[in-house]
Copies of this chain bind each other. A is one copy, B any other.
Amino acid sequence: MGPTIRDVAARARVSKATVSYVLNGRPGVSARTRQRVLEVMEELGYRPNTVARSLASRKTQTLGLVIPDISDMFYAHIIRGVESAANERDYILNLCTTRSDPRREREVVDSLMSGRVDGVILMTYSLDHAYLEKLRATGRPFVLLDDPDAGPSLHAVSVDNSEAGFKAAEYLISLGHRKIAFIHGSPRSRDTWYRFSGFRRALQASGVALREEYVRVGDFTRDGGFKAASELMSLPDPPTAILAANDQMAIGALEAITRSGRRVPEDVSLMGVDDIEAASMIRPPLTTIRQPTYEMGRQAVDLLVRLIGGEELEPRHILLPVTLVVRESCRSAT
C-alpha cells in the first residue's frame, strides 16, 4: 500500500523514532531535521497508518454508539448530537443499530468492547444489570442513554419523562381544563409510565380528579391513537383535553376527534410528546413537549470522553429537562 514510517525514515536518513516525533509534534528534533522529515512526508504522500497507531498507543479515537434504530427521528437527533460532539473532540463514530433485538445488542456490544473503540454509548433495552456489571469490569468506559433504571454504579444520561407528563398536564390545567385524558403508549415501555406518573402528579397537585375512563392505551402508533381517541370521544362525558404519550398517537387522535365531528382546539385540546417533524406540519400545528434529544447525545459524549480521559467521576445520572412547545392545538376550556 502506501509508504510507511520506515520509508520516510530511510529517505530522510533518520530513525523511525525521529519521524514519529515529528509526526506528533514532540520536542527532541532540531528544526532542520523536522523540516526535512516533513518534506519527505509530503514528497511520499505519507499517511500514518491509523490501525498501527491505535495498537501502539492503545487509543482508537473512536466511540461506539449502540442504538435501536436510525430512521426514527428521536434516535436520529440523538445520533446527531453524539456525532457532532464526538467530532468536536476528534473522535470518529462507530454506529451500530440493533432494532432492539436482544441477541444483536449483545453481539454488537461485545464486538465494540473488544478494543475497537475507546468507549461506548449504549441505548439498549435488553442488557440486564448482571451483564452491565460485567461490562463495567472490563474497565472500558461506557455511558447509558435514556435508561432511567440504570444501576447506581453506572453512568447514565436520560430525559426527564416524568417532567414531560407533568409539564403537559400543568399546561392543560392552566388553560382551565379539568376533564383531561391520557393515551398510553405501549404498556411495556417505561417511558409511557414515567410520562403518566408526571401527568398524574400534576393533576393531583392541582386537585384535578383523574377519571379511570380517561386513561387509554394506544401502543405509540398513529392507529392506536386514533382508536383510543375514538373511544374517548364516544364517552357519555368526553374529555375536553387529551395528552397522548407521543406525537404519532396525537396525530391519530386528531383524526379521530375530527371524525367525531369535533374540532381541535375549539372543542378538544390536544397535546403530544416528542415534537416530531410532522407535529408542526399538520393542521392545527400540534402543541407538544420537546425532548432534548440532541443535547442528550452531546452530554453522553461529554461524559464518556471525560471517563476515557481517566477522570474518576462519581457514577451519576444526568436528567435533562424537557420543554413545552406551544402551537395551536390547545385552547382555554370554556
Contacts and interface: CB of A to CB of B under 8 A. Distances in A.
A174 interface: no
A208 interface: no
A83 interface: yes
B116 A2 contact: no
Interface stretch (A16-24, A48-56, A144-152): A48-56
A49 B83 contact: no
Interface stretch (A32-40, A93-101, A235-243): A93-101
A313 interface: no
A299 to B, nearest CB: 18
A142 to B, nearest CB: 15
Interface residues of A, number: 47
A48 B115 CA distance: 8
A1 B139 contact: yes
A289 to B, nearest CB: 19
A255 to B, nearest CB: 9
Interface of A: 1-2, 47-52, 54-55, 60, 62, 69-71, 73, 76-77, 79-80, 83-84, 87, 92-97, 110-116, 138-140, 222, 251, 276-278, 281-283
